[in-house]
Amino acid sequence: MSAKQGLRVVHIRRAVQILFFGIVLWLSLSHMADKTTTPPLCSYCPMGGLAGLYFFLISGGQFLWKLTYANFIILGGLILMGLVVKSGFCGWMCPFGSLQEWINRLFRKIKVRLPRIKNDRLSQVSMKLRWIKYVVLAAVILSTAVTGRLIFRDWDPFLAFFHFGHGNLASTAYLIMWIVLFLSIFIDRFWCKYLCPLGAVIGLIGKPSWIRVQRNEEECTNCQLCDKSCPMNLKPSQMQGVTSVECNSCLDCLDVHPNIRALELKTKGGLKMSKYLYPVIILSIFWGSVGLGKLTDSWITPNALRKGEEHQSGKDNQILKVEEKQPGRPKAGKPLSKKEISEQKGRREMESGEVHDRFVVIKGRAIEIRGYLSLKEVERMTGVPIDYLIKQTDLPINVDVNIQMGRLKRRYDDEIVHKIRDAISNFYEEETN
């Protein structure tokens, strides 16, 4: 680095990238270690907020499985960021974008890369292919609204990478992840350019941004070094202002230009702004959004919804193990399922002669029904059809049957678990009559 250039923005950007990659990595590993204290990544991901926003609005405020206000708070922060500083999230914060960039940079150092597209026709084809991400965006929003499920979760390479093979993520997500990471060796930020639905939205929002890169024609020497440095294959040397939706606001073009006055950050009004102020603004907007959510008690994650019995059930799932072989029970050391835990507790209740009201007695068996169970799990454990449970409890017909009843309490009715127990008892009373 030359004395004239001083501190390069790219070094600050890499530090921010490492910071956010580390935060997401820590959240992921913490959730794997203890699900009762750290929510899943879906509960923070702005893509989840984007996919579930339409469903949230048309359903009168219902959340999709694993989504909470935290998703919408972060999404709101990114929207504000886009309006002010363009696509700062994509170029500076997105951990999956950073991963692709690092892979491409590593293989470029060992001379494994495709030749840069110089043919104008091929370059135009590449730009047209980037419309695919808008098709993906429309498909994600439409499918989520119709099914009431996070369909994109089964195809999301970001989630696949940070799941590390843990959990029940679909194999399609891992397949796409490996394809994208392989193609990133040859094409910088392949996912960002052609497929990312979140990047598509951020790019559109950031097009009229208040701050953007501007070119001073009088100072430009037409060396085209800025074009060569652009990871999105744009040509700042031919633009008066970099307003393209494809720009990810990495600001690499400001560093490589020998004449630092040829490309500058400016506001819409023409006010010059130091490039070192840019990371301060994006970090302030992001963490300010999170802080505002916490101060207003709107920062609700699934763990905030798990209270009392649900939290205890999480502990039970972790610590209840079979220490020796017994008839009709799992082998030694194997964790009990929710159904087996319930049956085990039910046997103890029946033997004690006093059955707690959280249990439902079915044909001589006591089954524990608590908030950590979903309607689908209740159906499987008790044999009572989901449709009957929904009708008896006045739940909406499109309710997510995979969601924990503890979350249904907050959305619909504080007494929902008690009503489910009563519905189960009524079902078997009607059956015997």
**Res. 167: pLDDT tops 80:** no
Count CB neighbours of 268 within 10 A.
Answer: 12
Q: Percentage of the chain with pLDDT > 70?
A: 78
Asked if residue 171 belongs to a domain, the reply is yes
pTM: 0.69
Asked if residue 1 belongs to a domain, the reply is no
Same domain, 202 and 342: no
- Work out the average pLDDT over 229-240: 90
Of residues 404 and 27, more confidently modeled: 27
Asked if residue 4 belongs to a domain, the reply is no
Q: What is the mean pLDDT of the chain?
A: 80
Asked if residue 165 belongs to a domain, the reply is yes
**Res. 326: pLDDT tops 90:** no
Count CB neighbours of 32 within 10 A.
Answer: 15
Asked if residue 301 belongs to a domain, the reply is no
- The continuous run of DSSP H or E covering 181 comes out as helix 171-184
- Work out the average pLDDT over 35-42: 75
Same domain, 290 and 354: no
351, two tokens: 């033997």
Helix (H, G, I), strand (E, B) or coil at 421: helix
192-215: pLDDT as tens digits = 999 999 999 999 999 999 999 999
Model confidence at 344, pLDDT cuts 50, 70, 90, reads low
Same domain, 313 and 339: yes
Same domain, 64 and 162: yes
Which amino acid belongs to residue 198?
L
Domain of 396 in residue numbering reads as: 306-432
For the chain, give the number of residues. Answer: 433
Same domain, 35 and 111: yes
**Res. 282: pLDDT tops 90:** yes
Asked if residue 263 belongs to a domain, the reply is yes
Number of domains in the chain: 2
Count CB neighbours of 324 within 10 A.
Answer: 8
Count CB neighbours of 376 within 10 A.
Answer: 13
- Work out the average pLDDT over 68-92: 92
Same domain, 424 and 377: yes
**Res. 92: pLDDT tops 90:** yes
